[in-house]
Amino acid sequence: MKTESPHILVVDDHRDIRDAVTRFLEKNGLRATSAADAVEMDQKLSLGSFDLIVLDVMMPGEDGLSVCRRLAAPGSCPIIMLTALGDDTDRIIGLEVGADDYLPKPFNPRELLARIKAVLRRTERPETLAGALAGKTVRFAHWSLDVDRRSLVSETGVQDTLSNSEFRLLVTLLERPRLVLNRDQLLDLTAGRAAGPLDRTIDNQVSRLRRKIEVDPMRPKIITTVRNGGYSLACDVEITS
């Protein structure tokens, strides 16, 4: 059983930010190490083990999106991206390439700490990401999901893989077929946090998932939108061992 406090790697080219974040995390019971850019980050990763990376998007040299795309993979160290305030493009791309969450700058350190704890809770026991579907194969519409492999295969044999956030969202919907879930419920179930007033995380994740599983993402038949309600998996689900 792991007894050490989680170790966080803070990657940001602004010294004031990374020093302040590092001190705040340490003050709140976490271990924290900082890096000024991707090169220093790679050095730190080669020398130690980390439980989560806080990664700025805008950095000299290799930017945060490129780093996230390179590092993100099922079972890898989770990543929280720091994005420019109001820059939806960076947030959407960050989630698409595998970030587990994002936080716009400027941010409240307490909110960052809450996001870190929420992501760590989800990844502490990887099997909980799949819940009751762990070890199962799930068939829905014209797709088959091997839950343990996170492998999505169409009835024609086309195979795709899912990012962490896509996987969590799909599993959440597969566990609740034909049930309407609003955005707050989905964000709580998939990210363990409440939505902000302008939070579009779930909408962005649904759009990305639709692009992978729908014949026509603009006219979705699998994940449907319920007006004034939320989203629903509008198909039957078959679960096999």
What residue ranges define each of the domains in the chain, with the CATH number in brackets?
7-124 (3.40.50.2300), 129-240 (1.10.10.10)
3-state secondary structure of 59: coil
Q: What residue type is 34 in one-letter code?
A: S
| Token duo for residue 150 | 């996170």
Instruction: For residue 4, give every residue at least 6 positions away whose Cβ sits within 8 Å of its Cβ, in sequence order, or none.
Output: 31
Burial call 150-183: b when 16+ CB within 10 Å, e when fewer: bebbeeeeeeeebbbbbbbbbbbbbbbeeebbeb
Report pLDDT digits (tens) over 114-126: 999 988 887 765 4
* pLDDT given for residue 91 in this prediction: 66
Report pLDDT digits (tens) over 155-207: 999 888 887 788 889 999 999 999 999 988 888 888 776 666 667 788 888 99
- Total residues belonging to the chain: 241
Question: Residue 102 and residue 125: Cα distance in Å, rounded?
Answer: 21
* pLDDT given for residue 72 in this prediction: 74
Report pLDDT digits (tens) over 26-54: 999 999 999 999 999 999 988 878 899 99
* pLDDT given for residue 1 in this prediction: 44
pLDDT of 78 > 50? The answer is yes
pLDDT of 127 > 70? The answer is no
Work out the percent of the chain whose per-residue pLDDT is above 90: 49
- Percent composition of the chain: helix, strand, coil (DSSP 3-state, to 5): 40, 20, 40
